[in-house]
Each structure stands twice: as structure tokens, then as C-alpha cells.
A and B are shown apart, each in its own frame.
Chain A
């Protein structure tokens, strides 16, 4: 059993953004004592936090601190070994399929087929989502939004890493999720791509989506997020308002 390693700073406690009203409503994300291990190594250790519906939070921490594992647990790609996690009030294990309908995951892997074009990849996804999603105009609008409309017919195998990331963002937008889990959304993107992610975050905020975004770009996260969570060694090290997060919090040394 892993050791408990929650290290909240006094500032984090003072800056906790949850209000009484949000405490009684259904949370966007609710994680209680979640642990996950790969073989003998614990990747997550008793992680607990709660995000109100519509809240946007950044997830910071050094490489290997458990950020991606936490996002994959919440997206139901991995099962937690201990603890419980709820997404929009639904348990990630017991209500897995219902959770999957509400969540979109932007993963390190782009979840696309290399031999298909950008448009065909979205068409495949849209067909699985149902006929309502399969509107060629809407698919092209999403590709336009991520800056890939002029490359819609090109095979993804010919795409750069940044273009692949844009297509992965298009998959998130196509799903119109209630909860978006974004793993390094700024990674591999150029400066216009950074602005694209900023726009995506703004759009998700306007729609009232709950967002948990893993990123190393603390400045950018402070600008766009209400809340910051910092993981270290698989445990929660810091939890507080994003504006109070030091630029190098949880990332230095």
C-alpha cells in the first residue's frame, strides 16, 4: 500500500476555490484517494480533489509525476487500483460507458489512423458517435477551426507532429464533451497552435465544460485556468487557485 503524501501548502488551503454552492452540486470531477500502479511501481498515490462543473484546472508536475495516468484513469482508459473517481457524478468503473459519452481525452497518442485522411478520420469517429455527428459541413468547420481545412484530404501519415496534435484537438471538439481531459495540449504546436489551444479552452469555458489540462506551461495555465493541481511522485503536492501557483511550482528540482 502506498504511503500518503499529500503536501498542501497553507496558501493552497486559503485559496481553495470551491464554494458552498459547488460543494452540494454534482461535481465535474471528483477524485477520492485514487491510486494506480504499474507492476510494483505506484504511479498515483491516494490522489484526491474535486472540480466543480464548469471549472478549468491545470495539472502540473514533473515528468513521471502521474499526470497522464490520472487523466487516463478519469477517461476510463485505465482502471484505478484503489479509490474512486466520478465524472459528472458517474463512477469511472461502474458507469464506464456513460462516462465515456461525456468525456473527451486529448492523449499523447493522437488516436488517429495514419492511412486515412484528416477528414476520413473525423468521419470514422462521427459514424461511431451517430448519424447526427456525421455532417460533412460540420466536420469541415472543425477542421477549419484547427487550421487543417486545406489539408483535409491528405493522409495523416504525411502530417507533422503539430498537425497531428491539431487533428487530435479536432477529435475533442467534434465530441463536444461535458468534461475535457487534455494532456499537454500545447505540446508540439507552433505559436499559432498555442493560440488555437487558448481558443479551444475559451470555447470550452463558454460551453460550461469542465476541463483538466496537464501542462508544463505554468504561465499559460495561470492565464486560462481557475485552479491548479500539482502532482509529485504520484501524490497531490499542491492544490489551489491557479493565479497563486508559482511559475516553477512543483516543477523545479
Chain B
């Protein structure tokens, strides 16, 4: 546990020192939201209907940039290898990085919500519930995304490879997050929110457990 906290502290410091990148990722996500709204056109009903889906698509696309960047500094002078040789625990290194990425993606999601509300004329619904869903959904992106970012960071063309590997894996997370977010925003007459939220939580736990176990292998290779 202490190694997780040490790694989290290190990754939080690295993210703070490179916070300019977060602004770039946020602008990318906001631009994606804007372009999706152009694709729908000035139909307020259709915009509102698709708001949740486009929010999560924008977040997914922006997250690949953030996740890909998260290992760049680790590889530049083999800093991550240096920590492994101390030796630092691979499990600690993984969960520290995944938690820092999670915090970054959750912040990104929460800051994109006002843009979605304005651009899609969407009801924000219950703010706390929406924030909770963004936390759960971004955990499901961060857990496998951190593992795949580590796997692809040294591969040429990694900016293409990361989404190719990540997108199919996070389809269940995306599906549950979009449906649950839509229910929070537009109402839940059939009481389905609980089921989607539980599904999201299950995938978060599965991904976080499996990826934590596999990270050591990725570091070795």
C-alpha cells in the first residue's frame, strides 16, 4: 500500500509539472463535443438525446491522448526502469499511475459537462450522481488504458496502436456509462440506473484487478 501511495505522489507531481498537457487534452475533448454537435445539426431534441453518448465519446478520444502521454516521461530516460531496479513494486507502480490517470480523466470529464450542457441544451440532471458516474466510467477507462499505454509506449506508432487496443476492451464500460449518464440526465422511469451502475462497477473491479496483475509482465518485457 505504501508503494502505491509513493507512486501516486510521484505521478501526481509529474502531472502537475506537465499540466499544460491537460489543457491541450481538455481543448481536444471540448472540440470533439463541438464537432459532434455540428454533425447532429440544430435539432434540439436529437442533441439532447445523444448528449450522454457524445460526452463519453469525447472523453474516450481525449483519454487516449492523456493515457498515451502518461508514460512518455517514464521512458524518456528510462526512469520507470530505474524505479523497477530499486526495486519498486510493479503493483505499486501500476496502481499509482492508474490512480493518477483516473483523477486526471475524472477531472476532464467533469470539466466537459458544462460544455455538453450548453452545446447540447442538455439537462445536467443530478450533479452528484453525474459526477459519481464520471468517476466510475473514467476508472473503467484508466485501469486498462494505463496497462495498454505502458505496453505501447515504446512501439512506433503508439498513438494509433493504443486506441486500437483500448477501444474494443472498453466497449462494456462505454455502454454502461452512456446508458447510466442518459438516465441521470433525462430521468429513470424504469429504474434501470442501478443495474447499469452495478455493471460499470463490476467492469471497473475486473479491469483494475487483472491489469494490476499483468503490469509486472509488461514491465519485464
Contact = CB atoms under 8 A, between A and B. Distances in A.
B10 A124 contact: yes
A75 B6 CA distance: 23
Given A76-B85, A100-B85, A129-B86, A111 B13 contact: no
- Majority secondary structure of chain B interface residues (helix, strand, loop or mixed): helix
B85 A110 contact: no
Interface stretch (B75-83, B97-105, B149-157, B200-208): B75-83
A101 B14 contact: no
Contacts of B76: 113-114
Most central of A101, A103, A113, A171 by chain B CB within 10 Å: A113
Contact of A116 (B6, B7, B17): B17
Given A113-B14, A115-B18, A128 B83 contact: yes
Interface in A120-169: 120, 124-125, 127-129, 155, 164
A contact residues, range: 20 to 34
Contacts of B78: 107, 109-111
Given A127-B6, A127-B10, A128-B6, A112 B86 contact: no
Nearest to A112: B77
Interface string A90-117: 0000001100110101010111111110
A56 B191 CA distance: 73
Contacts of B82: 107, 109, 111-112, 125, 171
Interface string B6-25: 11011001100110000000
A110 B82 CA distance: 8
B79 A111 contact: yes
A155 B64 CA distance: 27
A121 to B, nearest CB: 8
Given A97-B87, A103-B85, A112 B6 contact: no
Contact of A112 (B9, B17, B18, B79): B79
Most central of B78, B79, B82, B87 by chain A CB within 10 Å: B82
Most central of A75, A115, A155 by chain B CB within 10 Å: A115
Given A97-B87, A116-B14, A111 B6 contact: no
A114 B86 contact: no
A105 B85 contact: yes
Given A76-B85, A97-B87, A175-B86, A114 B13 contact: no
Interface of A: 75-77, 96-97, 100-101, 103, 105, 107, 109-116, 120, 124-125, 127-129, 155, 164, 171, 175
